């Protein structure tokens, strides 16, 4: 253990410390500390406070891969203790002077959380000790043999994540095993400590066993299966998976209850938006930040046509269903209109101009000038719910089916478009406009079609949104909707349809489930976008094209390449 | 230029030309209407004009940040509005402290100078961190990627400062010597407006001197001409880029203090969005990448925005035209990008794109 790199330890320890200080000062530690994860032993605030410290220790221990167990333990201990430096400093400073007039979140409650409620001298020592122990544990984790590290890491992750989303887990468990059993597993929102421990150990055993089995089956099936057989098995598995998902999607609202159906509705709404934007950004490569404008057009058209406002050309004639084609048509027309002036723009200019369009529409909707049409700041009220063969779709469970149908339709159209001539033209344009044009692609037509079809999807989403809420305000159509839609297709993977769904679940669904999260949602979006672009710019589920580009040397044996069809 | 436009797009050209003529005609009709109705007196127009110039000089200071970064990296620093917010929002506490201790009214010039330096320092730190964390690792990535990081950074910064300082509006304290009106060319003008305008001009002059007359400025210009050749000539590219972000940040911070002194509404964590977009518009208006262009563009945009609602929108018979003030900047932006994307002084950009 002679060659310990103290500079690394100092750097990583301080980096962890900065992260801990950051989460403390912006108030996340305090706000999240109300959320117990495991009894009252561990809460979400603790996780945030020690996450940076543990991360620093983990990397410090990894940097010293040649050190032995004791060496790495000491390194972890030192890095962890160093990580406690800045939060401790904050506690000392805030006990000396009142910092709350400037930093609203640096208050006694925060000091209490950091010092375990024991006050300055003893509590701070405890905090340093705890940080050192956290550092020690994470450092020792790196010493574990390969076969243990995977299962332990995964199990720890699952316990924490399932505790964070205990609302969802409990709801599902209640429907399966009954509320009495569930109550015996949880105390408040948190796991009982014993339950968490059993779960942790059980999961480790499970993963260990799974790994062993996978390894054994690898050894026994050294002779490769024939291609046809393998493909058949894969097909069968895919069909089973598909049917499973189909059944789940159909019965989901009745398992999950009203609140979670509302969440599903939100996810569906953004899947619809994301699929439309995916055509514009993912396929055609046109960065559109004013996408919300078409969503607003859809919602307002639906509102105007189905209510009895003064400018409705035929009050009482249109129902949701008869208005729907008109709404989509209006969306497409506006997509063409707004697409036309920006035909010549590329990249960042296009982004800013479309952002400008979105804001202009919102400002116009708010103004007194257009108030006779769009209702001004009051918006449009009393938009009727859709009626489906005599059944009024007035609950989240029923509206879910509407948005599900819309999303499935949009997904189907997206897939067919992607594999069509037009889809290939879009992708060629995305890769290089000049070359695409030289190849004989009509850029004007191709771009306008991308804008128009994307706008149509968005307008459909807006119409469903208006019918669900019954009331629309200009404030519902702010830049954040565009940003949300953009973030989710990027996080999911540009140009990838499963990516849109995963992105919508991750960015729209999960934050809905974490009530404590709401206030920090946009902060997390921002950080996620940066981290995603730095580490995995192709997204969670990258589109085939990007995947192949990135792993061109590996033979995936997947579906026939797109190029082959061109 | 003209011969590079493909024949196939001629329909589009025709449409854009018609659109251009219609827009110009509409503006002329509106101005004629307003002028013939004589709804406002000369002194009312002067009031709007001076307010517009002061606001415009704030836009110009922020726009310089966009233009400097664009000149060097050919990238739009979407989060620059947040750099401005960081300085303005942080300094409000210092200003309140100065007001409480009485320093602000005993030594007003010194106090304001310290406030400007403090805001510039905070904004500089934020700008440098932004470059280090969000942009530097992506310098060779496709152009879409840093733009998305910039959007992310924008949100991260907004909500970080919300977490730090809270979500409420906080107003800058009033400075006694900047209160009241003064007589300028026979018109009554609030003292703060010429103050902001002149100080901003001084800062812009200092920047211009730095870029045109110092060695570091020469390095900046070299990098903006050609990065690879500049590197071969021994210019430290990373250092130049950091300097660029620092300069842009410092000017944005100063703009934040001016905004605080100038507008009584106060500052809060979302304050950077609209000025950011408008300053970007100003930079595009003057020709992005062009330093004098950003200054003129900023002043021009401030004036257009101040006069526009009354001069043009009311001339078209639009009620409560001031509600649409924010839309004017966007309309200007869209119009320039459609009709003259290189801006007023944009020869350099046209060269670069060709």
Rg (CA), chain B: 21
Which residue is closest to B152 within chain A, CA to CA? Answer: A526
- B141 in contact with A, Cβ within 8 Å: yes
Nearest to B310 by CA among B55, B53, B46, B57: B46
- Give chain B's residues under pLDDT 70: 1-10, 320, 346-354
Give the best residue of B164, B332, B350 to mutate against chain A (max A CB count within 10 A).
B164
- Residue B134, CB-side half-sphere exposure with 13 Å CA sphere: 31
Distance CA B329, CA B282 (A): 9
**Do A280 and A406 belong together in one domain?**
yes
Determine, for residues A363 and B163 on separate chains, whether the beta-carbon distance falls below 8 Å: no
Sorted by where each begins, the domain ranges of chain B are 58-271
Inspect the interface and report whether the beta carbons of A356 and B277 lie closer than 8 Å: yes
Neighbour tally for A120: CB within 10 Å: 14
Q: Which of A472, A487, A502 is the last residue of a domain?
A: A487
| Cα–Cα dist A510/B170, whole Å | 33
**HSE (side-chain half, CA atoms, 13 Å) at A30:** 19
Asked if residue A462 is part of any domain, the answer here is: yes
Q: Are residues A180 and A271 in the same domain?
A: no
Which pLDDT belongs to residue B10?
Answer: 67
As a whole number of angstroms, the distance between CA B349 and CA B314 comes to 36
DSSP state of B5: S
Check whether residue A91 and residue A203 sit in a common domain.
Answer: yes
A98 near A105, Cβ under 8 Å?
no
Which of A349, A367, A530 is facing B156, going by the closest CB pair?
A530
Q: Which of B19, B138, B152 sits opposite A526 (nearest CB)?
A: B152
| Residue A24 is assigned to a structural domain of this protein | yes
* Domain-terminating residue out of A175, A197, A212: A212
Q: Which of A284, A345, A356 to mutate to test the interface with B (most CBs of B within 10 A)?
A: A356
Whether A355 and A470 map to the same domain: the answer is: yes
* B189: β partners: B182
Indicate whether A186 and A304 sit together in one domain: no
Say if residue A163 is in the same domain as residue A285: no
On whether the CB atoms of residues A424 and A431 are closer than 8 A, the answer is no
Q: What is the pLDDT of residue A1?
A: 47
Q: B140: nearest CA in chain A? A: A534
- Say what the pLDDT of residue A419 is: 87
Determine the residue of chain A that is closest to B276 in CA distance: A352
Nearest CA of chain A to the CA of B57: how many Å?
22
| CB-based contact A437 B143, cutoff 8 Å | no
Q: Decide if B155 touches A, using CB distance below 8 A.
A: yes
Contact between B95 and B127 (Cβ < 8 Å): no
Read out DSSP for A310-367? Answer: TT-SSTTT--HHHHHHHHHHHHHHHHHHHHTTTTT--HHHHHHHHHHHHHHHHHHHHS
Specify whether A195 is located in the same domain as A51.
yes
Indicate whether A431 belongs to any domain: yes
Residue B144 is nearest to which of A27, A287, A525, comparing CB atoms?
A287
Work out how many domains chain A is built from and give that number.
Answer: 2
Residue A137 falls inside a structural domain:
yes
Domain presence at residue A457? yes
CB B198 within 8 A of CB B206: no
**Of B16, B163, B333, Cβ closest to residue A105:** B163
Contact criterion met (CB below 8 Å) for B217 and B210 = yes
Cα(B207)–Cα(B295) distance, integer angstroms: 11
B-chain CB neighbours of A490 within 8 Å are 148
**Is B180 within 8 Å of chain A by CB?**
no
Strand partners, B99: none
Token digits for A481?
């909707």
Looking at A460, A487, A514, the residue that finishes a domain is A487
> What's the CA gap between A356 and A293, in Å, rounded?
10
Q: Is residue A536 part of a domain?
A: no
pLDDT of residue B118: 93
Contact at CB, A527 and B19, closer than 8 angstroms: no
- Alpha-carbon dihedral sign for residues A27, A31, A35, A39: positive
The strand ranges marked E within A465-563 are: none
Which of A266, A295, A271, A249 is closest to A500 using CA atoms? A271
Range of the domain at A282: 264-487
> Does A556 map to a domain?
no
Say yes or no: A269 and A208 in one domain: no
Q: How many beta-carbon pairs below 8 A join chains A and B?
A: 155
One digit per residue, pLDDT tens: chain A, 566 residues?
Answer: 456 778 888 888 888 899 989 988 888 888 888 878 887 788 888 888 888 888 888 888 888 777 788 888 888 888 888 888 888 888 888 888 888 888 888 888 888 888 888 877 888 888 888 889 888 888 888 888 877 888 888 888 888 888 888 877 877 787 777 777 777 788 777 888 888 888 888 888 888 888 888 877 766 655 555 677 777 877 888 888 888 887 877 777 777 777 778 888 888 888 988 988 888 888 888 888 888 888 888 888 888 888 766 666 666 677 778 788 888 898 899 888 888 877 777 767 788 888 888 888 888 888 777 777 777 777 777 777 777 776 777 777 778 888 888 888 888 888 898 888 888 888 888 888 888 888 888 888 888 889 899 888 889 888 888 888 878 887 778 787 888 888 888 888 888 888 888 888 888 887 777 766 777 888 888 888 888 888 877 777 777 666 555 554 444 444 443 433 33
Same domain, A23 and A146: yes
Q: How many Å apart are CA A61 and CA A141, to the nearest integer? A: 9
Give the B window 89-118 contacts with A, CB below 8 Å: 93
Let me know whether A274 and A139 are in one domain: no
Residue A221, domain member (yes or no):
no
ipTM score above 0.90: no
Together in a domain, A163 and A60: yes
Residue A249 burial (CB < 10 Å; 0-12/13-18/19+)?
middle
Residues facing B187 on adjacent strands? B184
Burial B271-303 (b: 16+ CB within 10 A, else e): bbbebbbbbbbbbbbbbbbbbebbbbbbbbbbb
Nearest Cα to A273, choosing from A397, A147, A171, A410?
A: A410
Phi, psi angle pair for A96, to nearest 5°: -85, -50
């Amino acid at each position: 253990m002679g060659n310990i790199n103290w500079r690394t330890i100092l750097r990583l320890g301080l980096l962890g410390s900065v992260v801990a200080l950051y989460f403390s000062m912006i108030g996340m530690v305090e706000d999240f500390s109300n959320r117990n994860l495991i009894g009252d032993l561990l809460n979400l605030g603790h996780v945030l406070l020690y996450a940076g410290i543990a991360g620093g220790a983990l990397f410090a221990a990894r940097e010293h891969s040649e050190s032995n167990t004791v060496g790495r333990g000491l390194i972890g201990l030192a890095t962890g203790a160093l990580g406690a430096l800045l939060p401790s400093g904050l506690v000392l400073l805030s006990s000396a002077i009142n910092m709350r007039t400037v930093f609203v979140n640096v208050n006694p409650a925060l000091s209490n959380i950091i010092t375990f409620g024991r006050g300055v001298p003893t509590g701070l020592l405890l905090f340093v000790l705890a940080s050192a122990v956290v550092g020690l544990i994470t450092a020792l984790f790196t010493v574990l043999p390969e076969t243990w590290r995977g299962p332990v890491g995964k199990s720890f992750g699952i316990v924490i994540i399932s505790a964070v989303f205990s609302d969802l887990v409990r709801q599902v468990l209640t429907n399966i095993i009954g509320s009495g059993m569930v109550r015996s597993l949880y105390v408040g929102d948190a796991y009982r400590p014993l339950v968490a421990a059993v779960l942790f150990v059980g999961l480790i055993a499970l993963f260990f066993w799974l790994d062993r089995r996978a390894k054994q089956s690898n050894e026994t099936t050294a002779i490769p299966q024939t291609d046809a057989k393998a493909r058949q098995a894969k097909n069968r598995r895919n069909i089973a998976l598909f049917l499973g998902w189909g059944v789940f999607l159909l019965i989901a609202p009745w398992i999950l209850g009203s609140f979670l159906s509302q969440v599903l509705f939100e996810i569906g709404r953004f899947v619809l938006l994301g699929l439309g934007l995916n055509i514009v950004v993912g396929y055609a490569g046109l960065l559109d930040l004013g996408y919300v404008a078409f969503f607003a057009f859809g919602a307002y058209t639906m509102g105007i046509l189905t209510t009895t406002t003064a400018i409705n050309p035929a009050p009482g004639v249109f129902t949701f269903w008869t208005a729907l084609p008109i709404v989509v048509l209006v969306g497409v027309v506006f997509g063409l209109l707004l697409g036309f002036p920006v035909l010549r723009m590329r990249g960042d200019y296009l982004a800013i101009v479309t952002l400008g369009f979105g804001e202009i529409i919102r400002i116009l909707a708010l103004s007194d000038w257009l108030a006779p049409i769009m209702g001004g700041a009051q918006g449009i009220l009393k938009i009727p719910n859709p009626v489906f063969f005599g059944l009024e779709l007035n609950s989240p469970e029923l509206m879910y089916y509407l948005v599900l149908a819309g999303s499935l339709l949009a997904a189907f159209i997206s897939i067919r478009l992607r594999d069509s001539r037009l889809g290939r033209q879009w992708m060629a344009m995305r890769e290089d406009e000049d070359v695409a044009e030289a190849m004989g692609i009509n850029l004007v037509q191709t771009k306008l079609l991308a804008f128009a079809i994307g706008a149509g999807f968005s307008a459909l989403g807006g119409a469903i949104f208006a019918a669900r809420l019954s009331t629309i305000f200009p404030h519902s159509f702010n830049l954040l909707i565009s940003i949300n839609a953009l973030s989710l297709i990027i996080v999911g993977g540009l140009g990838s349809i499963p990516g849109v769904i995963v992105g919508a679940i991750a960015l729209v669904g999960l934050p809905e489930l974490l009530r404590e999260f709401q206030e920090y949602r946009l902060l997390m979006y921002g950080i996620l976008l940066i981290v995603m672009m730095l580490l995995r710019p192709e997204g969670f589920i990258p589109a085939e094209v990007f995947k192949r580009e990135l792993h061109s040397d590996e033979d995936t044996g997947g579906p026939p390449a797109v190029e082959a069809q061109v | 230029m003209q011969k590079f436009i493909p024949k196939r797009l001629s329909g589009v050209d025709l449409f854009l030309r018609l659109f251009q003529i219609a827009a110009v005609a509409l503006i002329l009709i509106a101005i004629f209407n307003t002028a013939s109705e004589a709804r406002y007196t000369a002194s009312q127009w002067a009031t709007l004009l001076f307010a517009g110039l002061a606001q415009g000089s704030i836009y110009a200071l922020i726009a310089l940040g966009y233009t400097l970064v664009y000149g060097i990296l050919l990238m739009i620093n979407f989060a620059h509005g947040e750099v401005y917010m960081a300085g303005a929002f942080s300094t409000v506490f210092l200003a309140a402290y100065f007001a409480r201790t009485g320093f602000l009214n005993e030594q007003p010039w010194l106090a304001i100078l310290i406030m400007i330096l403090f805001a510039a320092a905070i904004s500089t730190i934020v700008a440098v961190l932004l470059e280090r964390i969000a942009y530097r690792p992506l310098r060779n990535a496709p152009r879409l990627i840093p733009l998305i990081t910039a959007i992310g950074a924008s949100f991260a910064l907004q909500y970080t400062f919300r977490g730090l300082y809270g979500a409420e509006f906080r107003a800058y304290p009033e400075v006694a010597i900047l209160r009241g009106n003064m007589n300028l060319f026979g018109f009554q003008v609030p003292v703060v407006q010429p103050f902001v305008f002149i100080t901003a001009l001084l800062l812009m002059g200092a920047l211009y001197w730095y870029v045109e007359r110092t060695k570091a400025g020469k390095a900046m210009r070299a990098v903006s001409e050609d990065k690879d050749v500049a590197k071969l000539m021994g210019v430290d590219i990373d250092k130049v880029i950091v300097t660029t972000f620092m300069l842009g940040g410092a000017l944005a911070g100063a703009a934040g203090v001016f905004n605080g002194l100038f507008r009584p509404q106060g500052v809060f964590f979302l304050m950077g969005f609209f000025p950011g977009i408008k300053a970007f518009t100003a930079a595009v208006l003057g020709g992005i990448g062009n330093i004098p262009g950003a200054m003129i563009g900023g002043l021009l945009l401030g004036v257009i925005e101040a006069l526009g609602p009354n001069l043009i929108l009311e001339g078209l018979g639009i009620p409560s035209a001031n509600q649409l003030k924010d839309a004017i900047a966007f309309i200007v932006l869209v119009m320039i990008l459609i009709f003259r994307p290189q801006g007023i002084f944009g020869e350099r950009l046209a060269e670069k794109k060709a």
